[in-house]
Amino acid sequence: MSAVKELIRTEQNGTISFGDYTLDVKAKLQDYDFNGDLYKVKTYRDITKLERNGMFVYESVPGTTVNGFAADDTGVCFTVEGAQDAQITLGLSDDSEYDVLIGSEDTGIMKTNRSGKLTLSVELSEGASAVVEVKKR
């Protein structure tokens, strides 16, 4: 897996990939049309952020590369890569419970806050990636 040099792209399997944690300077791309929604991505080594129709979807500190990002009413699934451990915040449904799997490890049930945000930590290192699955209960 490698950084998404075009900042965001549509994959053949109907998912999106975004982010480039290798950049030293912040880069952004807005008004990317995917399935009738407009996406905006900001990314570089310190942060990666994704918005859909002006609403928060994803943020990582430090920056990451996300591949195969798929989201619907039941949760999200993606593969994440970064140079070091990352804190990831996802925009989900308000006051809801989710089963969270990182790699093959079940991290248990997590609850979103009133704004629908769920924060998790992922252990990463250069050249390694982790699959993240968040499923609504």
Residues of the chain falling short of pLDDT 70 = 1-2
Specify the pLDDT at position 104.
Answer: 87
Number of H helices, E strands in the chain: 0, 13
Cut 0.75: pTM above it: yes
Q: What CA–CA distance (Å, rounded) separates 35 from 22? A: 28
Domains and CATH numbers, the chain: 8-136 (2.60.220)
Q: What is the pLDDT of residue 5?
A: 82
pLDDT of residue 19: 97
Rounded CA separation 98/80 (Å):
19
